């Protein structure tokens, strides 16, 4: 199965993977240093290949940025 790829306005490449019928993941591809973002799929379309680059960019813009990971382990004393 192939996933839709697109390049955002900053030149980073993303791969769109439908996680469920109502949620999509934007995963970094190529040399993209970003982290995976999840967003609700648009209600009017269930196939990422049917959306324009502008529509995909809007979905990516609305996807919340992942929180920074803790550098220390909470299990260490």
What does the pLDDT read at residue 13? 96
What does the pLDDT read at residue 50? 87
The Cα-based distances of 22 to 27, 70, 72 in angstroms read 17, 29, 34
Domain range for 54 is: 4-62
Q: Specify if 39 maps to a domain.
A: yes
pLDDT category at 47 given cuts 50, 70, 90 is confident
Instruction: Check: CB of residue 7 under 8 Å from CB of residue 13.
Output: yes
Examine the pLDDT at 25 and tell me if it is beyond 90: yes
Tokens coding 68: 């920074």
Q: Hey, how many other C-beta atoms are within 10 angstroms of the C-beta on 35?
A: 13
Tokens coding 73: 């382990």
Q: Specify if 42 maps to a domain.
A: yes
Examine the pLDDT at 66 and tell me if it is beyond 90: no
Q: Specify if 10 maps to a domain.
A: yes
Q: What is the mean pLDDT of residues 12-17?
A: 94
Q: Specify if 19 maps to a domain.
A: yes
What total number of domains does the chain contain? 1
Q: Specify if 20 maps to a domain.
A: yes
* Percentage of the chain exceeding pLDDT 90: 47
């Amino acid at each position: 199965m192939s996933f839709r790829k697109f390049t955002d306005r900053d030149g980073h490449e993303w791969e769109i993977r439908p996680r469920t019928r109502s949620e999509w993941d934007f995963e970094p591809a190529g040399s993209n240093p970003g982290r995976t973002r999840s967003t609700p799929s648009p209600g009017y379309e269930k196939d990422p290949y049917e959306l324009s680059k502008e529509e995909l960019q809007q979905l990516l813009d609305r996807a919340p940025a992942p929180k920074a990971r803790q550098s220390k382990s909470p299990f260490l004393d």
